[in-house]
Structures are given as C-alpha cells and as structure tokens.
Amino acid sequence: MRPADVLVEAGRLAAEGEPFALATVVNVRRPASARRGDRAVVMPDGSVHGWVGGSCSEPTVVREALVALADGESRLVSTEGSCASEGAVEILIEPQLPAPLVAIVGESPAAATLAGLAAAIDWRVTRELDDRADAVVVATMGRGDEEALAAALSGPAGYVGLVASRRRAEAVAASLRAAGVAEDALARLKSPAGLDLGPIRQEEIAVAILAELVAWRHARTPSAPPPEEAVDPVCGMTVALVGAPTAVHEGITYAFCGPGCRTRFEAEPERYRAVEAS
Amino acid sequence: MRDVLDTLERWTGEGLRFATATVVKTERSAPRDPGAVLAVSERGEVAGSVTGGCVEPAVYEEAQAVLAGGPPRLVTYGIADEEAFEVGLPCGGTVHIFVDLADPAVVHDLAAAVREERPVALEVIVAGEDIGRKQVVPLNGHADTGLAGDVFVAEFAPPPAMYVFGAVDHAAAVARIGKFLGYHVTVCDARSRFATRERFPDVDELIVAWPDEFLRGAPVDGRTAICVLTHDHKFDIPLLKVALETPAGYIGAMGARRTNESRNERLLAEGVTEEQLARIHAPIGLRIGSRTPEEVAVAVAAEIVATRRQAAVPA
C-alpha cells in the first residue's frame, strides 16, 4: 500500500466512523527501511496497513498506536535503540477516534434542545436508543422515562442520564428499583443529568448536560483499557500483546517483536528465559 | 411570548379581541419555561403553546371563558403531591398559568420595544384586588422571567452581547454555542486574514479592528459576555484593561497556566488591582477536561451559565 493509498484508506475509515491510528514517518536516520513520508494505518486489533519500517519499528508503532487509541493523544515515537542496526526512525502517531454517539430519547423540548447543541459541537446524535451509543440521555418528561432508562442501563452505554427535577429523579430511581433494576446499574444513572450550574432555561439545561458529558468522556482516561504489553526477552523491546508472535516455554507465554526473535528464543530458550513475559 | 408577538400584533391591528394564557411558574420538569404563551382569538384561532400539547385543550376552554366575559384567572395543572402518582404522569411537573384578556396597548408597547431593541419588562398582577392589571416598564440590567409575589415579570430585552476576541478555531466554536445561548455574537480580530466570513459564517458581526479599540466603543452591560481568546499579550493586555472598566457580567481569558501568570503580572504592573483581576475567568471555561475547540466552547458556555446564575460550581 503506497502512502497515498494509506490516506485514501484513512479517509474511508474516518468517513465510516471507525477508530484507527495514522502513523507517519517524519524522520529517518540511515540505515533504515522506511523513508520520510511513509505511512500506515493501525487498527484497534493491532493490524497494520501500509509501511512504516519493518520489524524494527512496527512493533513499537503498534504498541504506541494502541495506547494513543486508548488515551486519545497524538504522540511522536522513536525506534532509537530498538534495532540491531544503527538506524532509527521517528514516527508521528495520530489517533482518529469517531465523535461520540449520544442517544437522546424523548420528544420533549429539552431533548430537542440538547440534540441541537450536541450536533453543534459535532457529536453524533441519534434520537432513539441505540446499542452503539456511548451515552444515553433520557428526556421524555414522563412519557416513558422508566422504560427507556431500564433499557439503557442494561446496555453498554457508559453514560446514562435522566433530565428531570431532583424530586422526580428520586421517584424514577425508586420506581426502577421496585421494577428490579440492580443497584450497580442504578449507580451508573446520572440523575438529574447535568452539572449543577443552577440552570433555568432549556438552553442552559442543555449546556449543563453537555458539559457533564464532556467531563465524563475525559474522566475515563484512558478511555479504553490500556493494551497489555510484554517485553521481548530476546531484544528487550516492549511490544503489545495484540497480534505479537508468542511462544510458550515451561508454562510461561513469551511475546516477541517479530518471528526473528521468536526463532532465536525457540533455539535456546534457557538463554532468554530470565526476562519473563508479563 | 416573543415567539407569538408578531401574531398578537397582527390580531391587534385587525381589531380582534383575544385572550392570552401565560406560564407564570413551573414546578419540577415542565415542558416549557415561564413566559411561554398560548393566545386564543375571538375567532377561535390559536397561536403558541404553554406545555407543548399536555394541557392546551383545558387552557383553551379557560381562554374561551375569559373571552366570553369571565374574570382573569390563575390556573394550575399537574399532580402536585405524592411522588408515587407523579411517576407515569403523562406530562411531568406542575404549571401555573395565568389567563386573561389581552390589552392592545400593552401588545403595541411590547412589539415596539422589541423592534427598537429597548429592554423592557411586562409586569402582570396575577392575584388579589388588582388581578389582571399590567404595564410595560423599562428594564435596567437583568430580570428573570418569573413570579415575584403576586406579580409576574416577563423580560423583553434584546439579546445580550457576546464579544469574542481572536479569530482562532476556538472562536468559531464559542461563537456557535454563544448563538445557541441566545447571544448577539461579535467576533473581533485585528488580522483581516483570519476574521473572514468563510471561517465565521454564523456570527452576527465580524469586526476587523484592534480589540481594545473596538471594545472601548462597543455597548456593554451586565449581561455582556467577553471572551478573550487571543492569548497574545500584545492584544490581550490592553483588551483586558478595557474589559475590566466595563460592567460586563462575564470576562474569560484563554491561556495556559504560565501564560496566565505572566499576563496577571503584567496587568498588576499596569495598575490593575487584585479585585479587578478576580473578575477574569482564566483559564477560560469550567475544568471539564476539554480538548477540542468544541469541547472548550462547552466549558466556556457552562461557565457563563454558572456565572449568570451565581451558582456554586463544583471545582
């Protein structure tokens, strides 16, 4: 895949709302197999499409790309010291995460106002329950709050909020409890939804809720669990376990930066076993 | 009421009698805010809404009774007690609605004030001996629409001003959310290459001028929000000095912690007092972990709302 094709692929993934990291070689110290401007797309499963150098740099790129997808931050990584040769490359890794999807349930003015504001800050909005939603805000104003909340709390959404007064919020929680919704599920419910700004108007309520959603989004740092890593016992490189070649010796699993290191390990495991995989 | 004022003015012009039903107070989660109006003409035409459909039929009957010569009345809808009953109520909350005959002179005064962008308030007595008496008074500063004793006050002020300085990416996002909150938004930057319509299609006014010089001549009152996003001392030191001389209700300034500290030192050195400095929200926006310009805009909007409401804000 040529660098230009990688960009086409990246554009396609972004348009489809798929998360990925774009890796671009920005500096090269020879000898190295990559050239400045070489690119690759790294998927959340650790697969690489494109070229950012061979076994010297790819494991590092995958490891850092997975961390970047977890914390949302771009980073510049160097393969300094991880290669047998004297060459090294510097690679810019940019995570591309789709905008959060928020499901806003209910026909109330509060729901419509919040949907308008969420779209205005480029979040994706759906007006019905959706299992893919990162966050669910229920604002039916009494026309089915309990049903929508029970469904949302049994789903995977990380944020579930109810637009209601404090008193009504308590009544709804009591009703959900009586209907058999578990306490740990109820503990996830933000009710009433929104930072306590003392808001009055619909627009202000929407701002308070969206501020809480932004805070919630970034409080989960890292937003996904960090990828599991291990140290290659042969070359000492830290590699992501996802997609790495592995070998089992005396009941312990070892991970390697590439097939080369694994072959060397398998030839004389006793020599390398002192550095154990995690 | 603002949303139906055109219709009411037209009815007045046609010499029609009509009744207005106004939400004067809400409890718990009512669908519309105080000030929402449903109007019913003697021909049976309807404009506006008070709850978005929940109690409109009942309110329509009250309006008809008033048009037929009945007295003005304050009516309440919703189940007030027993939370158990409240759950499953088709329309949550309780609304208090005042229904009376419209006064053509009052409609005329309100419409004129809105057209001329004069801040006024409509005061209506909703209980007691003088029930139904109303007047339009000039408004100084901020008044919340709502009930104060037996008097319902409805604010009719032109949109408050938001001035955004620095035509950066964050400015477009802040301007967009400022419009959403009902502000008349002006973006100002000294650099004509940045302050372009292409970059700021939504703002009400786009000004190429030195920020401090522009603000010195711009109207500012207690409702005004000033957002300083230049984070360049060359612009923001003189600008903030001017801003601190105004009665603006909100002044926020962008900048990393170190930028802020050096800016504060400069401002103090130039004669700004610690008390004045405390008026500046910096770094701008509530701490909600914002990263993108849009998220920063949400943080700024939340801070403006909180400041406006003088609420205790979680740190």
- Those residues whose C-beta lies under 8 Å from the C-beta of residue A51, and which sit 6 or more positions away, are A1, A34, A38, A39, A40
Q: How would you class A68 by CB atoms within 10 Å of its CB: exposed for 0-12, middle for 13-18, buried for 19 or more?
A: buried
Q: Which residues of A touch B27 (CB under 8 A)?
A: 165
Minimum distance, in Å, between the CA of residue B88 and any CA atom of chain A: 6
Which portions of chain B are predicted below pLDDT 50? Answer: 80-90, 311-315
- Facing residue for B288 by CB, picked from A196, A206, A214: A214
A142 touches B: beta carbon within 8 Å: yes
Instruction: Tell me the two tokens of residue B210.
Output: 């030195």
The pTM for the full model equals 0.73
The neighbour count for residue A160, using CB atoms within 10 Å, is: 25
| Contact call for residues B113 and B87 (beta carbons, < 8 A) | no
Q: What is the ipTM of this complex?
A: 0.75
In angstroms, the separation between the Cα of residue B29 and the nearest Cα of chain A is: 5
Q: Give the gap in angstroms from C-alpha A228 to the nearest C-alpha of chain B.
A: 26
pLDDT tens, residue by residue, B133-147: 999 998 876 677 889
SS (H, E, C) B66-81: HHCCCCCEEEEECCCC
Q: By the CB < 8 Å criterion, does B144 face chain A?
A: yes
- The reply to whether residue A215 touches residue B88, judged by beta carbons under 8 angstroms, is no
**Scanning every residue of chain A, which has its alpha carbon at the shortest distance from the alpha carbon of B312?**
A197
Instruction: Please work out, in degrees rounded to the nearest 5, the angle formed at the alpha carbon of residue B287 by the alpha carbons of B185 and B308.
Output: 45
- Distances in Å between the alpha carbon of A246 and those of A48, A54, A253, B23? 18, 18, 7, 70
Out of B29, B286, B292, name the one closest to residue A165 (CB).
Answer: B29
Residues of chain B found within 8 Å of residue A211, distances taken between Cβ atoms = 286, 288, 298-299, 301-302
Q: What is the phi/psi pair of residue B208, to 5°?
A: -100, 105
Q: Maximum CA pair distance of chain B? A: 71
Report whether B33 contacts B97 (CB < 8 A).
no
**At A6, which amino acid appears?**
V
CA distances (Å), B269 to each of A117, B241, B244, B275, in order?
A: 41, 12, 15, 14
Helices A166-178 and A145-153, packing angle to 10 deg = 60
Distance (Å) from the alpha carbon of A185 to chain B's nearest alpha carbon: 20
| Residue B182 in contact with partner chain A when CB distance is under 8 A | yes
Residues in chain B with CB shorter than 8 Å from the CB of A141 are: 29, 31, 91-93
Q: What is the pLDDT along chain A (278 residues), one digit of tens a residue?
A: 888 899 999 999 988 888 999 999 998 887 777 888 899 999 999 899 998 877 778 888 898 999 998 888 899 998 876 666 677 889 999 999 888 899 999 887 788 889 989 988 888 999 999 988 989 999 887 778 889 999 999 888 889 999 887 878 888 889 999 988 888 888 889 988 988 877 677 888 899 999 999 998 887 644 455 567 788 888 878 887 777 888 888 888 888 888 888 888 888 888 887 654 44
CB A163 to CB B29 under 8 A? yes
